Copies of this chain bind each other. A is one copy, B any other.
């Protein structure tokens, strides 16, 4: 059967579009740059949300919900912030049949409105740290939209916290970056990342430091999977977020913000997908096993139901595909959707006392007794999860090149990442890289750990083309 997708090697962006469409992940919305997330894409996002949310709650933050509409004047209070976001704003000028006295913007991010209410709610050091998060939609007008990767509206979580000291703020946001984002990326998304801080030129508008997790896609480009910001006292000054300290004096808070979005779905597709479609890591997959009836036949369906029930009891997320289109067509569709394991149940196999078990990552097919499926599957899923991570790590390492000059970095960035001494780059180097759409993705220490500031000595940097 001919593949339904453009091969990656032929045209990676078109392969991506094909997967998004044929796996029924998302469609373009009617307003330019917006998207409709279809049930399969949304089920993946729901699993991401669940895994990230539990980690956020473990980190002590509580969910809340702040308004979609922000007075235009709020953004102007933090100079860098308004400069960074103004070009991307959507503005409501009319509501309830009348022209609004002050136009309101649709939130592009919510530091300003969180700041306003933190100032109201925080009185003393006893109210700190204040640890908040919200799951919400945000709007940043995109001129070159791409489903999941760059959409004018996207879904995300944004955490906002206030602390009584730089040290506490810094330690907290570092913990979020490491124990929420990177832990999720490694353990659930099976994706190794370069963890580091952004160079000053790439910081979030209004931040004193931005941390990032950079993933490598299969075309060698980078995708920023999540970012966490130390905001210093910039927003505390702009929104008057003060507290009475233990000595009874009034002091400014230190705030942070951190976010991850539906962009993660794009990263999932581009890191793990192959020419047959998506491959979803078992820990993430909304459907871990699909039990497919080769033919619609009572005996076959009974066997499918029995296997699915046993898998469900074993804690596996399972569904049954009992027909409709041809068997071959259905197999292709499940491959495109990247369900980790297929159990194919056919009358001839059943007569011999077996069913076929096929792994999506290796296409390895084994015959197994129907009664043995439920006992085998959990172990196979775990093995697949760790092998997917190992294979990503190997690919990433093989495509990251240590180089000694900007020129070599530019060459290496055509197919992967380059790593070089940060002092070899500097503002002039960054400008030169940008002539070929290459940027410094992050700064790291030589051992790969995350620096505290970009002023640390002896840092290295990762440079790449990016989404």
Confirm or deny: A62 has a beta carbon within 8 angstroms of a beta carbon on chain B.
yes
Complex-state Cα separation, A153 to B67, whole angstroms: 7
A379 cross-chain contacts in B, Cβ below 8 A: none
Confirm or deny: A166 has a beta carbon within 8 angstroms of a beta carbon on chain B.
no
A70 cross-chain contacts in B, Cβ below 8 A: 30-31
A132 cross-chain contacts in B, Cβ below 8 A: 39
Confirm or deny: A90 has a beta carbon within 8 angstroms of a beta carbon on chain B.
yes
A92-B90, A93-B94, A95-B89 as given contacts; A42 in contact with B64, CB under 8 Å: yes
Closest to A24 in B: B121
Confirm or deny: A324 has a beta carbon within 8 angstroms of a beta carbon on chain B.
yes
Complex-state Cα separation, A392 to B368, whole angstroms: 56
Q: Is A90 in contact with B97, judged by CB distance below 8 angstroms? A: no
- Best-surrounded residue of A30, A46, A139, A141 (most CB of chain B within 10 A): A30
Which listed residue (B34, B69, B89, B141) contacts A153, Cβ 8 A? B69
A68-B137, A69-B31 as given contacts; A86 in contact with B94, CB under 8 Å: no
Complex-state Cα separation, A66 to B38, whole angstroms: 8
A29-B67, A67-B36 as given contacts; A88 in contact with B93, CB under 8 Å: no
| Chain A contacts with B in 128-150, Cβ cutoff 8 A | 132, 136-137, 139, 141-143
Complex-state Cα separation, A324 to B93, whole angstroms: 46
Q: Is A30 in contact with B71, judged by CB distance below 8 angstroms? A: yes
Confirm or deny: A339 has a beta carbon within 8 angstroms of a beta carbon on chain B.
no
Which listed residue (B68, B86, B143) contacts A139, Cβ 8 A? B68
Which listed residue (B96, B117, B152) contacts A143, Cβ 8 A? B96
Complex-state Cα separation, A324 to B123, whole angstroms: 14
Closest to A102 in B: B31
Confirm or deny: A5 has a beta carbon within 8 angstroms of a beta carbon on chain B.
no
Q: Give the Cβ gap from A233 to chain B, nearest Cβ, in Å.
A: 22
Complex-state Cα separation, A46 to B117, whole angstroms: 21
Q: Is B104 in contact with A94, judged by CB distance below 8 angstroms? A: no
Which listed residue (B66, B126, B153) contacts A36, Cβ 8 A? B66
A141 cross-chain contacts in B, Cβ below 8 A: 95-97
Confirm or deny: A87 has a beta carbon within 8 angstroms of a beta carbon on chain B.
yes
Complex-state Cα separation, A87 to B68, whole angstroms: 19
A90-B92, A91-B93 as given contacts; A67 in contact with B31, CB under 8 Å: yes
Q: Is B27 in contact with A117, judged by CB distance below 8 angstroms? A: yes
Q: Is B94 in contact with A65, judged by CB distance below 8 angstroms? A: no
| Chain A contacts with B in 45-96, Cβ cutoff 8 A | 45-46, 62-71, 74, 86-96
Q: Is A62 in contact with B39, judged by CB distance below 8 angstroms? A: yes
Confirm or deny: A37 has a beta carbon within 8 angstroms of a beta carbon on chain B.
yes
A66 cross-chain contacts in B, Cβ below 8 A: 29, 36-37
Complex-state Cα separation, A87 to B69, whole angstroms: 18
Q: Is A36 in contact with B65, judged by CB distance below 8 angstroms? A: yes
Confirm or deny: A430 has a beta carbon within 8 angstroms of a beta carbon on chain B.
no
Q: Is A153 in contact with B29, judged by CB distance below 8 angstroms? A: no
A155 cross-chain contacts in B, Cβ below 8 A: 65
Closest to A103 in B: B94
Complex-state Cα separation, A126 to B323, whole angstroms: 11
Q: Is B89 in contact with A34, judged by CB distance below 8 angstroms? A: no
Complex-state Cα separation, A87 to B66, whole angstroms: 24
Confirm or deny: A374 has a beta carbon within 8 angstroms of a beta carbon on chain B.
no
Q: Is B120 in contact with A67, judged by CB distance below 8 angstroms? A: no
Query: 14 A-B contacts, Cβ less than 8 Å apart?
Result: A30-B70, A36-B66, A38-B64, A39-B63, A39-B64, A42-B65, A45-B65, A68-B153, A86-B97, A87-B97, A88-B96, A89-B95, A94-B103, A97-B141
Given contacts A37-B65, A37-B66, A68-B137, 6 further A-B contacts (CB under 8 A): A30-B67, A30-B70, A30-B113, A43-B63, A87-B96, A92-B92
- In the A-B complex, the 7 residue pairs with the closest CB atoms: A96-B141, A34-B67, A39-B62, A29-B67, A37-B65, A90-B95, A91-B94
